[in-house]
Chain A
Amino acid sequence: GAGVSQSPRYKVAKRGQDVALRCDPISGHVSLFWYQQALGQGPEFLTYFQNEAQLDKSGLPSDRFFAERPEGSVSTLKIQRTQQEDSAVYLCASSLAGTSGTDTQYFGPGTRLTVL
């Protein structure tokens, strides 16, 4: 598979649990993005990495959300003490170079998180 992959595809968590969502970008892609998509809405930006550096985390809704990309490839989005409002689809995207405005972002299938 040459595309962006995400795991798990579905995650059910009890309120208060911690969850970790994984993203494998397209090989060789420098930039990686996380988005949150609520039901019936468009994706909303969460955070952005260029290689291992997190250059923008302005979209993270609270300090319960944390993302990392330690080796500049695979990324993990962690949500601590999940709340019901965290229920959404979490999309990962990658692009070839370092500036999203010039490069197309290619998206993974998403992880659907349901917090009970």
Chain B
Amino acid sequence: AQKVTQAQTEISVVEKEDVTLDCVYETRDTTYYLFWYKQPPSGELVFLIRRNSFDEQNEISGRYSWNFQKSTSSFNFTITASQVVDSAVYFCALANTGNQFYFGTGTSLTVIP
């Protein structure tokens, strides 16, 4: 069974603070893909990153960074020096070589100015 858990339902931080959004996944597949999407109030899911199960190298993109650890089945997302524009719901998703994405329940991030 495929499952994604985002235990943090809501997070509030003050602008310029760093924040980490947790994602834990379950799968029996050896080949799988992990994603993060941002859903601003407008509703459209915006793609942020994709990792495959064979690439555990962490990635940094500007203020965003991702920590993929197969040993703990986690794919955490950190925003450095948060900004008000980062306020959104963030979803972690898991896909195998089939045709379905499995989404977590999302973490609602509010950045307070």
Contacts and interface: CB of A to CB of B under 8 A. Distances in A.
Interface of A: 31, 33, 35, 40-45, 48, 55-56, 59, 89, 91, 93, 99-102, 104-110, 112
21 contacts: A31-B99, A40-B105, A42-B103, A42-B105, A43-B91, A44-B103, A45-B101, A48-B99, A56-B99, A93-B45, A100-B100, A101-B96, A101-B97, A104-B35, A105-B101, A106-B47, A107-B46, A107-B47, A109-B44, A110-B43, A112-B43
Given A104-B47, A109-B44, 18 more contacts: A31-B99, A33-B99, A35-B101, A41-B106, A42-B104, A42-B105, A43-B45, A43-B103, A45-B100, A45-B102, A99-B97, A100-B95, A100-B101, A101-B99, A105-B47, A107-B37, A107-B46, A107-B47
A44 B91 CA distance: 12
A99 to B, nearest CB: 6
B44 A107 contact: yes
Interface in B51-94: 91, 93
B113 interface: no
Contacts of B31: 101
B45 A107 contact: yes
Query: Taking each of B37, B50, B91, B104, which has the highest tally of chain A beta carbons within 10 Å of its own beta carbon?
Result: B37
